[in-house]
Amino acid sequence: MNPCTFSISRLREMFIKHELSPVEIVTDTLDFIYKKNPSINAFLHINQQCIDEAKKSEERYLKGKAGKLLDGIPIAIKDNICTVDQPTTCASKILKGYMSPYDASVVRKLKQEGAIFTGKTNMDEFAFGSSTENSAFGPTLNPHNLERVPGGSSGGSAAAVASFMVPGALGSDTGGSIRQPASFCGVIGLKPTYGRVSRYGLVAFGSSLDQIGPFASNIRDVCIILNAISGYDEQDSTSCDIEVPDYEKSLDIPLKKKEISVGIPEEYFEEGLCSEIKEKINKLLDNLSNDGFCIKKINLPHTHYGIATYYILATAEASTNLARFDGIRFGYRSNNSKTIFDLYTNTRGEGFGKEVKRRIILGTFVLSSGYYEAYYLKAQKVRTLIMKDFADAFQSVDFIITPTTPETAFKLGEKSTDLLKMYLSDIFTVNANLAGIPGINLPIGLSSDKLPIGVQILAPAFKEENLLRFAYYIEQNLTRE
């Protein structure tokens, strides 16, 4: 039996009672990953050395000294998060074999809590995509149906949790890359508030939008990982010095249902939303209302500008962030160049994939003189309006419920030739990144063709505690079919 069908909290309990040991679970987990990965391609690198860490963890349990949050728990890390003892490639040829000289702050924190890193997960190259088809090392497949994509860009992490290769994983979310693959794979994925979790050591895509967050199969496990990775970090000037509550403990505080109101934004339920998703969400809303929650219709009037605004700002930031990959400092270097200029262009031309080049060109264009005011500056202004929409809405509601995605997992190759369609996969997720607020995907059932359906819940900035308690209520009471 695969040990990762157990939750993180259950594994911890079994370790403490000596019913199972970290070495046993890590050995079985690696065996399972080796067996399963060839068909799913969730991992780009499997970390055989993690057995040594499992042995150390086991000793701590034997000595009764294991009080840490994730002691002995296998965790997978998206391959754009730096790790000293495993490669960090961002699923790009340009970083093939690259070893970071330092750990990302989240990795350092997880290590301190005793987590065992089983490997690095597949993704869209530099996190540009919604399907994990843009990886230079082949796509990840959806464990629910191998003809379907797992979503992206953190498709490897989502698929690893969904196929029980690990009980928890980290991803990054710039415009939906945790929530959208979580929805396609039927797991939970949380994008925290911008500034809640340090971005130090996350290879930057859109620095004003990126956040690292957890994947797991239940809310309690998400809380445990979030407890471990949250908090101020002096190495990330945008991380916030705001107290971190104990998210796991707060799950035990009962909700005052009658005092909670939930906003349903009309703009998220228009034409284009798959009818089965709509039905499932409506059923959930009926149940919430029957349980005493107040469900209110609201408006977020600038919603429709989200995708355009996001693709201007995200590509602008990406084009500057990716300037550092020049063949001099990191990874791949083209070896047929006569001049330094040739070296740059050949390295970037050979090392970057198609989508990366497209985004660098688009981002450079919107930042170039003459177009800056028309595109970049205008997009910044619209971003402020989108933020204001949420601020206004949260005056009268505690949470906002929307679909996570307009449809369930699509077929491999289905959208690769129609980019606009691909970009529209994030229509419901990008606005939370533009506004900096937290959002979670919660699975709420399967479609008639047995593909997962997810709901997105949004909350005001730094209200993860409430968001998780509310999601926990739904998970415990309202998601059973």
Q: Hey, which residues are catalytic here?
A: 78, 153, 177
| Strand 261-265 relative to strand 294-298, pairing | parallel
Query: Minimal CB distance to ligand GLN: which residue?
Result: 177
In this structure, what token pair is assigned to residue 350?
A: 């050979």
Q: Could you tell me which stretch among 32-40, 113-121, 125-133, 458-466 binds ligand GLN (CB under 6 A)?
A: 125-133
Under the binding rule (CB under 6 A), the answer on residue 173 touching ligand GLN is yes
Under the binding rule (CB under 6 A), the answer on residue 128 touching ligand GLN is yes
- Residue of 57, 130, 217, 218 that binds ligand GLN (CB under 6 A): 130
Closest contact distance (angstroms) between CB of 187 and ligand GLN is: 16
Under the binding rule (CB under 6 A), the answer on residue 184 touching ligand GLN is no
Closest contact distance (angstroms) between CB of 266 and ligand GLN is: 24
Question: 38: how many CB neighbours lie within 10 A of its CB?
Answer: 7
Q: Are 44 and 89 in contact (CB under 8 A)?
A: yes
Question: 235: how many CB neighbours lie within 10 A of its CB?
Answer: 13
Q: Could you tell me which stretch among 121-129, 224-232, 451-459, 462-470 binds ligand GLN (CB under 6 A)?
A: 121-129
Touching ligand GLN, residues 337-356 (CB under 6 A)? none
Under the binding rule (CB under 6 A), the answer on residue 174 touching ligand GLN is yes
Site size with ligand GLN, rule: CB under 6 A: 13
CA distances in angstroms from 357 to 315, 360, 413, 417, listed in the order given: 10, 5, 19, 16
What's the CA gap between 119 and 45, in Å, rounded?
A: 5
Q: Are 349 and 328 in contact (CB under 8 A)?
A: no
CA distances in angstroms from 477 to 294, 340, 474, listed in the order given: 17, 62, 5
Closest contact distance (angstroms) between CB of 216 and ligand GLN is: 19
Question: 141: how many CB neighbours lie within 10 A of its CB?
Answer: 22
Under the binding rule (CB under 6 A), the answer on residue 92 touching ligand GLN is no
Under the binding rule (CB under 6 A), the answer on residue 175 touching ligand GLN is yes
| Nearest residue (CB) to ligand GLN, 176 versus 363 | 176
| Strand 439-446 relative to strand 188-191, pairing | antiparallel
Q: What is the DSSP string of 159-204?
A: HHHHTTS-SEEEEEESSSTTHHHHHHHTSEEEEPPTTTB--TTBPP
Q: Could you tell me which stretch among 19-27, 122-130, 239-247, 454-462 binds ligand GLN (CB under 6 A)?
A: 122-130
What's the CA gap between 133 and 149, in Å, rounded?
A: 8
Q: Are 184 and 142 in contact (CB under 8 A)?
A: yes
What's the CA gap between 385 and 393, in Å, rounded?
A: 12
Under the binding rule (CB under 6 A), the answer on residue 140 touching ligand GLN is no
Q: Are 79 and 29 in contact (CB under 8 A)?
A: no
Closest contact distance (angstroms) between CB of 153 and ligand GLN is: 4
Question: 294: how many CB neighbours lie within 10 A of its CB?
Answer: 16
- Residue of 132, 153, 183, 431 that binds ligand GLN (CB under 6 A): 153
Under the binding rule (CB under 6 A), the answer on residue 303 touching ligand GLN is no
What's the CA gap between 216 and 441, in Å, rounded?
A: 11
- Residue of 150, 168, 176, 454 that binds ligand GLN (CB under 6 A): 176
Touching ligand GLN, residues 414-443 (CB under 6 A)? 426
Q: Could you tell me which stretch among 174-182, 227-235, 257-265, 299-307 binds ligand GLN (CB under 6 A)?
A: 174-182
- Residue of 61, 117, 205, 352 that binds ligand GLN (CB under 6 A): 205
Closest contact distance (angstroms) between CB of 285 and ligand GLN is: 27
Among residues 184, 230, 210, 212, the alpha carbon closest in space to that of 128 is found at 210
Under the binding rule (CB under 6 A), the answer on residue 217 touching ligand GLN is no
Q: Are 215 and 197 in contact (CB under 8 A)?
A: no
| Nearest residue (CB) to ligand GLN, 205 versus 472 | 205
| Strand 43-46 relative to strand 116-121, pairing | antiparallel
| Nearest residue (CB) to ligand GLN, 340 versus 419 | 419
Closest contact distance (angstroms) between CB of 430 and ligand GLN is: 7
Closest contact distance (angstroms) between CB of 171 and ligand GLN is: 9
Closest contact distance (angstroms) between CB of 130 and ligand GLN is: 4
- Residue of 314, 432, 437, 461 that binds ligand GLN (CB under 6 A): 314
Which residues lie near ligand GLN (CB under 6 A)?
Answer: 127-130, 153, 173-177, 205, 314, 426
